[in-house]
Amino acid sequence: MSNLLPFLPTLKMASLIVRQGARLVRRNVLLTSVRASSASHAVVDPLKGKVPTDQKSMPDNLGHSVGAERFELLSQLAGNEDPFEMNVKKRAKGTFDEPTLVPSINTKRLVGCICEEDAISINWMYLHKGEPKRCECGYWFKLAELQPVNLS
């Protein structure tokens, strides 16, 4: 070990370079696999609304939108008016045996109950998958699994 002491800063630098190189390779491998998997399941035209045409002089909202907003606009074009199930829904019977079903793709969802017709506040609560929950007004809610919509 004493023979290596003069080279210790060099060894540390070499170790640092190797670690940085390994990190770069790992990151690129992960990104490549994600890109490859998402490209094979493309369900919408990635250029829809983003390519200029002779018929339009100004781009519409679809051309400007990205991410969740773009998904919502494309879903509406495909005929699904409420892709995130965010519209206000009427309560069902609301008993324990027949609760109001709230669709969700996750294991929990924030739900607001307008307990009375003339209420000025919304009673918010979390619904968890498999656990029916009762609002303060007495109505029961239950999380229902939402099936993903295929746009292709």
Q: Is 14 in the site for Zn ion (CB under 5 A)?
A: no
Closer Cβ to Zn ion, 34 or 122, answer by number: 122
Asked if 108 and 125 count as a contact pair (C-beta separation under 8 A), the reply is no
Closer Cβ to Zn ion, 127 or 135, answer by number: 135
Residue that has been written with the tokens 């027949």 in this structure? 98
Q: Is 105 in the site for Zn ion (CB under 5 A)?
A: no
Interacting residues of 123 by C-beta distance below 8 A, sequence separation 6+:
112, 113, 114, 115, 135, 136, 137
Build a one-symbol-per-residue string for 107-146: x at contacts with Zn ion by CB under 5 A, - elsewhere: ------x-x-------x-----------x-x---------
Q: How far, in Å, CA of 45 to CA of 86, rounded?
A: 25
Residue that has been written with the tokens 């009427």 in this structure? 90
Taking the complex as a whole, the smallest distance from the CB of residue 124 to Zn ion amounts, in Å, to 10
By three-state DSSP, how is residue 60 classified? Answer: coil
Q: What share of the chain is helix, strand, coil (3-state, %, to 5)?
A: 35, 15, 50
Closer Cβ to Zn ion, 34 or 137, answer by number: 137
Taking the complex as a whole, the smallest distance from the CB of residue 114 to Zn ion amounts, in Å, to 7
Taking the complex as a whole, the smallest distance from the CB of residue 140 to Zn ion amounts, in Å, to 10
Taking the complex as a whole, the smallest distance from the CB of residue 115 to Zn ion amounts, in Å, to 3
